[in-house]
Amino acid sequence: AQSVTQPDIHITVSEGASLELRCNYSYGATPYLFWYVQSPGQGLQLLLKYFSGDTLVQGIKGFEAEFKRSQSSFNLRKPSVHWSDAAEYFCAVATSASKIIFGSGTRLSIRP
The binding site for other proteins (CB under 8 A) comprises 32, 34, 36, 41-46, 49, 51, 90, 94, 97-100, 102-105
Q: Which is nearer to other proteins, 1 or 70 (CB)?
A: 1
| Phi, psi for 30 (deg, rounded to 5) | -65, 125
The SS3 call for residue 55 is: coil
> Which CB, 85 or 106, lies closer to other proteins?
106
Q: Which of 10, 14, 44, 54 lies closest to 64, judged by CA?
A: 54
CB of 97 to other proteins, least distance (A): 5
Least Å from the CB of residue 91 to other proteins: 11
Of 78 and 106, which has the nearer Cβ to other proteins? Answer: 106
**Helix segments in the chain, DSSP class H:** none
Cα–Cα–Cα angle for 71, 73, 75, nearest 5°?
A: 135
Cβ of residue 62: shortest distance to other proteins, in angstroms? 20
Minimal distance, residue 71 CB to other proteins, in Å: 22
CA distance 112 to 109: 10
